[in-house]
């Protein structure tokens, strides 16, 4: 989210998360301004007494209520829903994701752990990914998981999760920027995507605190039932203590009183001895004056009254525990047997309240599993998928039986319903194309499916139907239909009977418009023309046979699919620009994307290399971005792991002159432990598919490097201004944000006015920021060692993002770039030494070249 500003006053209106003001600033007092983390006292129980918070969790009454609410959700059916349920590809991927999730060990135990967020407010599960064989293919699954107590999880002001950590782990495994010292203990920041993807963090309710309770501001990231029920539980505990104290004193067979004669020491000693010898009774001694009506030395048993204890018992059970039960499970009939009255509807009301609570819990947990479980599994296994899958727990409605009966009666009268709506009443998911189904199926008419159905929906269920649809809707005007006057008018034949412009080479009836064409060029062109004619002829023969035999014989139709799949990228690009039905154009676009996608050679080896180096799986899109592999460029990526470093080699599949490109990168660890990405070589041809995209590729690479925790990107920006030197990296990479320092020799090459303006600075970016500095560096600069920081708010990223945005605006408006000059260009005065000075020779390592 990009922060917005007030253009009139030049004031920033929102923060980096898009909020008008951050939540932590809306309190009278702001805590932990150094660590920028919320206080751990966001919960009423912990705020008042940490020991009471632990005692509540061990109360069997509370445990029984939590189990009654948590266990039903863990036993419900669930499914993974695609974004478009009519898309066969999405349905198939979601089916595979379902199989992947089903491989999770102790699945219900993991769901029950996450449901502990109902009590704590937030709760986590740490997962360990591993590679397993799923449906015949290697897939990333959850190999192991471990719970993370909710009181160990805190948040920073920007929403970054924190997990409490033992102090002994601080210097051995994590760097200083990964640790935050909270107001309780040190905590690990889950600020890296690869760390965050290993944790499933479930939250119950997001609650903002009062203005004058700033220490409870962390409740915005999850408040549980413990905080809500604490004071009611505390009063119940006090009443239980009073009842126990009463029973201890007077509840065990009453109170025994031993009287003794006042002023008689022997009588007092005898009464005290008798009180001590009284077992299993509460006994006291009491003096009695002599001469009273009763005996002076005697004993009396006082029987307790039940009025007080019954009052305490009623307050505890009927008020405190009843209210706690209503809050946690939504009703009290499951634990107490009470009369509801005939036809009162109280039981139905209680059942509906409990159903609504379970439905909320299931929906809330489904959202967490969508983002923290299905999301990472989708990125690890299907990084090319461009849709969002959704995890859904199906809560059975108690009224489904009545609704199903109503649907059955209405359908018998001819009323129609949507199949998905009726299926939802049963709580069952829609079957996939490979699932075994039971039940009565509708009869289908031959051809593309049912007469009243959409043919596009039917092609999801049969490959032969897909062939038929392609054969029926393929743009046949690319073929050479016989005796077609319209085609002959648009594509007149030459004098030799072949298609082409009159007067073109090979046409005997006209002059050759290309007299400078070399024999090799002419041979290549004629070969290409003959291949196109042969393809058109084959296409025409196939089409005529299909028209003659009809579409029923699918054995002769698969050639249509093969035809599209075997076409060149250039032919497919022309085909995609034609006016075609949307489904056909989408199909051609998909084939084009498949043909031009960057292919990773030996993906299993690449997967293992990154897992060994970083300690966690890395998705395919991130690997491609590190190597500048943009889908649509038609290239191959080779990944190797040797001596603790990862080598990435990207080569274009098009080896024609000026159309190829190559890039070589190395990921290694420096002596100080930092991770470095070396951009060794980047060579892009003038007509290559990567031409003009170097800055965007570098931005994608920086974002991927930041995601993986790479500390810096290094390169040697080679070249200088000369027609004989093909490398221009010294200027291109400086323009894109690489930081570097000039040597004294390079500084002396600059014009004197720039030397005066720079002073003692030798920074290349300082020169580039001066008016006319870019032109000066382009004219007099040469190779340098460049360092790029991939972090979001670094100077390098800011320069690069501004440059990429400028290029995108230029492409959007269609206007060429205009050099902004605030003053006339500055030229360095020539001296006699200039005639003998030579620029240093630069190698191709780390260069950016246009061949």
SS (HEC) of 153-206: EEEECCCCEEEECCHHHHHHHCCHHHEEECCCCEEEECCCHHHHCCEEEEECEC
Q: Would you say 186 and 165 are in contact if contact means Cβ atoms under 8 Å apart?
A: yes
Cα 96 from Cα 597, distance rounded (Å)? 22
Q: What is the pLDDT of residue 1?
A: 44
Reported as a pLDDT band with limits 50, 70 and 90, residue 281 is low
Residue with tokens 């497919």: 572
The tokens for 300 are: 């009396």
Reported as a pLDDT band with limits 50, 70 and 90, residue 647 is very high
**Cα–Cα distances in Å, from 564 out to 348, 375, 570?**
61, 33, 12
Give backbone dihedrals phi and psi of 155, rounded to 5 degrees, phi first: -135, 150
Give backbone dihedrals phi and psi of 546, rounded to 5 degrees, phi first: -70, -40
Closest CA to 599 of 659, 656, 646, 652: 652
Cα 787 from Cα 782, distance rounded (Å)? 16
Closest CA to 475 of 376, 578, 378, 555: 578
Reported as a pLDDT band with limits 50, 70 and 90, residue 477 is very low
Average pLDDT over residues 258-269: 86
Q: For 23-32, 763-772, 828-837, which range has the lowest pLDDT when averaged over its residues?
A: 828-837
Q: What is the mean pLDDT of the chain?
A: 75
Cα 409 from Cα 269, distance rounded (Å)? 91
Longest dimension (CA), the chain: 156
Q: Would you say 767 and 773 are in contact if contact means Cβ atoms under 8 Å apart?
A: yes
Cα 664 from Cα 651, distance rounded (Å)? 9
Cα 689 from Cα 697, distance rounded (Å)? 12
Buried b (16+ CB within 10 A) or exposed e, 735-750: bbbbbbbbeeebbebb
Q: Would you say 797 and 736 are in contact if contact means Cβ atoms under 8 Å apart?
A: no
Q: For 458-467, 749-758, 805-814, which range has the lowest pLDDT when averaged over its residues?
A: 458-467
| Number of helices (H), then strands (E), in the chain | 32, 22
Decide if pLDDT at 430 tops 80.
no
Reported as a pLDDT band with limits 50, 70 and 90, residue 677 is very high
Q: Are strands 153-155 and 161-164 parallel, antiparallel or unpaired?
A: antiparallel
CB atoms within 10 A of CB 338: 8
More confident residue, 150 or 10: 150
Cα 786 from Cα 569, distance rounded (Å)? 36
Give backbone dihedrals phi and psi of 225, rounded to 5 degrees, phi first: -65, -25
Average pLDDT over residues 579-596: 63
The model's pLDDT over 294-316, given as tens digits with 9 standing for 90+, comes to 677 778 877 777 677 778 888 88
Average pLDDT over residues 359-381: 92
The model's pLDDT over 167-191, given as tens digits with 9 standing for 90+, comes to 877 766 788 888 899 888 899 999 9
Long-range contacts of 301-307 (CB under 8 A, 24+ apart): 301/254, 301/255, 301/256, 301/257, 302/250, 302/254, 302/255, 302/256, 302/257, 303/254, 304/250, 304/251, 304/254, 304/255
pLDDT exceeding 70 applies to what percent of the chain?
Answer: 64
Decide if pLDDT at 497 tops 80.
no
Q: What is the pLDDT of residue 342?
A: 43
Q: For 449-453, 681-685, 704-708, which range has the lowest pLDDT when averaged over its residues?
A: 449-453
Q: Would you say 484 and 543 are in contact if contact means Cβ atoms under 8 Å apart?
A: no
Cα 618 from Cα 705, distance rounded (Å)? 11
**Cα–Cα distances in Å, from 776 out to 512, 686, 829?**
48, 25, 13
The model's pLDDT over 591-615, given as tens digits with 9 standing for 90+, comes to 666 666 788 888 888 888 888 888 7
CB atoms within 10 A of CB 308: 13
The model's pLDDT over 400-409, given as tens digits with 9 standing for 90+, comes to 666 666 767 6
More confident residue, 505 or 533: 533
More confident residue, 281 or 60: 60
- Taking the CA atoms of the chain, what radius of gyration do you get in angstroms? 39
Q: What is the pLDDT of residue 720?
A: 78
Cα 620 from Cα 381, distance rounded (Å)? 9
Q: What is the pLDDT of residue 453?
A: 39
Reported as a pLDDT band with limits 50, 70 and 90, residue 397 is confident
Cα 36 from Cα 48, distance rounded (Å)? 23
Cα 306 from Cα 481, distance rounded (Å)? 106
57 DSSP β-pair partners? none
pTM, full prediction = 0.54
Q: What is the pLDDT of residue 151?
A: 92
Closest CA to 630 of 572, 576, 687, 695: 695
């Amino acid at each position: 989210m990009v922060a917005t500003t007030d253009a009139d006053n030049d004031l920033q209106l929102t923060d980096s998360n898009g909020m008008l003001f951050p939540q932590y600033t809306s309190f009278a007092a702001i805590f932990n301004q150094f660590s920028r983390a919320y206080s751990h006292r966001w919960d009423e129980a912990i705020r008042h007494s940490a020991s009471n918070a632990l005692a509540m969790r061990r109360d069997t009454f509370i445990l029984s209520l939590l189990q009654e609410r948590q266990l039903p959700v863990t036993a419900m059916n669930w499914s993974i829903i695609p974004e478009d349920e009519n898309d066969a590809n999405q349905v198939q991927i979601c089916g595979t994701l379902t199989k992947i999730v089903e491989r999770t060990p102790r699945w219900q135990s993991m769901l029950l752990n996450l449901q502990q967020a109902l009590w704590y407010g937030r709760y986590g599960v740490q997962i360990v990914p591993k590679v397993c064989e799923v449906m015949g293919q290697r897939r990333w699954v959850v190999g192991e998981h471990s719970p993370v107590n909710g009181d160990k999880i805190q948040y920073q002001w920007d929403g970054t999760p924190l997990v409490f950590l033992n102090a002994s782990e601080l210097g051995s495994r994590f760097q200083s920027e990964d640790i935050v010292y909270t107001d309780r203990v040190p905590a690990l920041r889950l600020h890296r995507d690869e760390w965050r993807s290993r944790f499933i963090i479930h939250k119950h309710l997001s609650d903002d605190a009062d203005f004058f309770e700033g220490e409870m501001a962390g409740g915005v990231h999850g408040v549980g039932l413990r905080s809500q029920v604490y004071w009611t539980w505390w009063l119940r505990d006090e009443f239980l203590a009073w009842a126990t104290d009463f029973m201890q004193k007077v509840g065990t067979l009453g109170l025994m009183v031993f009287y003794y004669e006042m002023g008689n020491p022997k009588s007092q000693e005898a009464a005290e001895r008798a009180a001590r010898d009284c077992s299993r009774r509460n006994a006291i001694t009491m003096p009695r004056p002599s001469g009273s009506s009763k005996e002076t030395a005697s004993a009396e048993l006082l029987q307790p009254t039940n009025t007080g204890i019954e009052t305490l018992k009623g307050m505890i059970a009927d008020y405190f525990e009843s209210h706690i039960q209503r809050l946690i499970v939504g009703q009290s009939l499951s634990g107490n047997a009470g009369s509801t009255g005939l036809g009162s509807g109280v039981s139905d009301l209680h059942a509906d309240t409990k159903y609504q609570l379970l439905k909320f819990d299931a929906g809330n947990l489904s959202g967490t599993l969508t983002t923290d479980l299905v999301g990472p599994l989708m990125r690890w296994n299907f990084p090319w998928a461009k849709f969002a899958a959704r995890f859904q727990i199906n809560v059975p409605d108690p009224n489904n039986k009545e609704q199903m009966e109503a649907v059955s009666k209405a359908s018998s009268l001819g009323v129609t319903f949507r199949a998905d709506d009726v299926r939802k009443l049963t709580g069952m998911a829609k079957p996939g194309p490979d699932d075994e189904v039971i039940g009565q199926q509708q009869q289908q008419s031959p051809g593309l499916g049912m007469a009243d159905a959409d043919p596009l929906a039917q092609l999801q269920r049969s490959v032969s139907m897909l062939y038929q649809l392609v054969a029926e809707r393929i743009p046949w005007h690319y073929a050479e239909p016989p005796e077609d006057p319209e085609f002959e008018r648009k594509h007149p034949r030459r004098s030799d009977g072949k298609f082409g412009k009159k007067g073109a080479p090979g046409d005997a009836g006209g002059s050759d418009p290309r007299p400078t064409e070399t024999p090799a060029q002419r041979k290549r062109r004629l070969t290409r023309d003959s291949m196109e004619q042969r393809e058109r002829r084959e296409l025409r023969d196939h089409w005529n046979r299909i028209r003659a035999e009809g579409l029923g014989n699918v054995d002769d139709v698969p050639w249509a699919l093969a035809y599209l799949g075997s076409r060149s990228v250039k032919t497919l690009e022309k085909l995609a620009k034609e006016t075609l039905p949307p489904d056909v154009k989408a199909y051609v676009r998909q084939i084009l994307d498949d043909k031009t996608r960057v292919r990773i050679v030996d993906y299993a080896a690449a997967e293992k290399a990154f897992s060994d180096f970083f300690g966690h799986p890395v998705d395919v899109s991130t690997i491609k971005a590190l190597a500048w592999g943009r889908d649509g460029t038609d290239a191959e990526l080779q990944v190797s792991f040797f001596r603790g470093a990862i080598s990435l080699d990207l080569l274009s599949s098009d080896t024609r002159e000026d159309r190829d490109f190559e890039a070589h990168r190395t990921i290694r660890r420096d002596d100080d432990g930092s991770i470095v990405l070396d951009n060794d070589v980047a060579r892009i041809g003038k007509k290559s598919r990567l031409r003009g995209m170097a800055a965007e590729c570098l931005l994608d690479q920086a974002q991927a490097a930041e995601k993986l925790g790479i500390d810096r990107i290094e390169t040697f920006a080679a070249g200088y201004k000369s027609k004989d030197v093909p490398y221009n990296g010294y200027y291109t990479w400086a323009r894109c944000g690489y930081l570097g320092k000039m040597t004294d020799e390079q500084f002396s090459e600059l014009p004197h006015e720039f030397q005066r303006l720079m002073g003692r600075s030798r920074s290349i970016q300082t020169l580039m920021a001066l008016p006319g500095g870019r032109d000066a560096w382009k004219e007099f600069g040469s190779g340098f060692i460049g360092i790029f920081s991939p972090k979001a708010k670094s100077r390098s990223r800011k320069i690069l993002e501004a440059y990429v945005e400028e290029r995108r605006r230029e492409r959007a408006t269609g206007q060429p770039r205009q050099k902004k000059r605030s003053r006339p260009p500055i030229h360095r005065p020539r001296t006699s030494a200039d005639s003998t000075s030579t620029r240093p020779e630069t190698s191709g390592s780390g260069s950016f070249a246009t061949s």
